[in-house]
């Protein structure tokens, strides 16, 4: 049934502007290709992969208006490429294409940062706002770029990625939380999409890559504010709810092996067992992955195998 639904999505999706894994055609194409490949239907899988790769012409076009962020932009397309290469052998996406996409994302960030005199060597705007969080901002873009680090040059890493991480560190509030965007000084949102939970994953990965203890310290501070303020009445979702905040402690446990974070992840999971009881809002898409019940189930399943747990559509 899943294969039938995905194939229908892949064939009936009309908009070529929506080129990301989560909200566009790339997700159905990539998932269907992986499924067909696992069923030994290699030719059918290859057709979908070729279609996905053909979207790169639009993604790489500077005049296309494609943003760079995760949910609707180039970082979301990059996730699709990395996802295919991590699930199909031999890897179907050429290194050259991935290098073109990461360079396009970095060059776009350099151009925007330069023209707008940003203090960060990389900066991006979505709907005229310089978001810094995981869903629409700099953190999410850097997270995907770090996962694609084998395709980056040392100059890109040393001159742009790492200094941008240091810039983000300076924005952290004394509470451990982060603003949602540049110029916004409200210490309010503690979500994966905006705030400390999304930042925690980034700085855990940055610590793994660069072995800089300050990155781990930043991630730990994100964990503390999430523990204090992360049981949200807004809902249970992984995007802006308790399940997504629970991944904060999964990431910290994976990187530190400190049992404190296992306990905290379990307590957030326990909160999710009372689904619907604690929220004061109903999600627009109550069964969806990022806003609804599917994401909560995904989180609870990941709690059963923490060594394999990955934030969906974000961790490769």
Picking from 80, 88, 84, 27, the residue whose alpha carbon sits closest to that of residue 56 is 80
Beta carbons within 10 angstroms of residue 105's beta carbon: 25
Measured CA to CA, the distance from residue 176 to residue 226 in angstroms comes to 9
Measured CA to CA, the distance from residue 5 to residue 17 in angstroms comes to 21
Picking from 61, 82, 54, 62, the residue whose alpha carbon sits closest to that of residue 70 is 82
In this structure, are residues 237 and 296 in contact, taking their beta carbons and an 8 Å threshold?
yes
- Residue 255 is labelled as binding a ligand: no
213-229 and 259-273 helices, crossing angle to 10°: 30
Measured CA to CA, the distance from residue 24 to residue 121 in angstroms comes to 29
Measured CA to CA, the distance from residue 232 to residue 271 in angstroms comes to 10
Distance of CA 76 to the CA centre of its chain: 8
Q: Alpha helices of the chain — where are they, by DSSP H?
A: 2-12, 26-38, 42-54, 56-59, 74-87, 95-115, 138-147, 154-156, 162-170, 196-210, 213-229, 242-256, 259-273, 293-302
Beta carbons within 10 angstroms of residue 255's beta carbon: 19
**At which residue do the structure tokens 């040392």 appear?**
154
- Residue 239 is labelled as binding a ligand: yes
- Residue 266 is labelled as binding a ligand: no
Binding site: residue ranges?
Answer: 193, 239-240
Binding site for Zn(2+): residue ranges?
Answer: 193, 239-240
């Amino acid at each position: 049934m899943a294969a039938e639904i995905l194939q229908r999505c892949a064939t009936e999706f009309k908009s070529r502007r929506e080129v990301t894994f989560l909200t566009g055609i790339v997700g159905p194409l990539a998932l269907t290709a992986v499924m067909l490949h696992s069923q030994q239907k290699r030719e059918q899988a290859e057709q979908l992969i070729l279609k996905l790769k053909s979207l790169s012409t639009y993604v790489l076009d500077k005049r296309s208006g494609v943003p760079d962020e995760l949910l609707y932009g180039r970082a979301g397309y990059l996730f699709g490429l990395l996802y295919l290469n991590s699930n199909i052998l031999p890897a179907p996406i050429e290194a050259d294409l991935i290098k073109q996409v990461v360079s396009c994302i970095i060059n776009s960030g350099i151009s925007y940062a330069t023209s707008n005199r940003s203090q960060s060597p990389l900066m991006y705007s979505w709907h005229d706002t310089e978001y810094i969080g995981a869903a629409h901002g700099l953190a999410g873009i850097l997270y995907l770029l770090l996962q694609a680090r084998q395709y980056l040059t040392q100059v890109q890493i040393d001159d742009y990625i790492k200094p941008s991480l240091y810039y983000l560190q300076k924005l952290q509030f004394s509470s451990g939380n982060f603003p949602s965007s540049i110029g916004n000084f409200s210490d309010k949102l503690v979500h994966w999409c905006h705030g400390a939970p999304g930042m925690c994953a980034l700085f855990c990965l940055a610590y793994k890559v660069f072995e800089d203890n300050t990155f781990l310290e930043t991630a730990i501070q994100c964990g503390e504010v999430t523990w204090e303020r992360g049981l949200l009445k807004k809902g249970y979702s992984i995007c802006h709810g308790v399940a997504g905040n629970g991944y904060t402690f999964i990431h910290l446990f994976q990187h530190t092996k400190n049992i404190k974070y296992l306990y905290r992840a379990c307590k957030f999971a326990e909160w999710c067992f009372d689904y619907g009881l604690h929220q004061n809002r109903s999600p627009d898409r109550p069964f969806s992955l990022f806003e609804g019940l599917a994401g909560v189930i995904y989180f609870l399943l990941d709690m059963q195998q923490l060594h394999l747990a990955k934030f969906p559509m974000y961790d490769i």
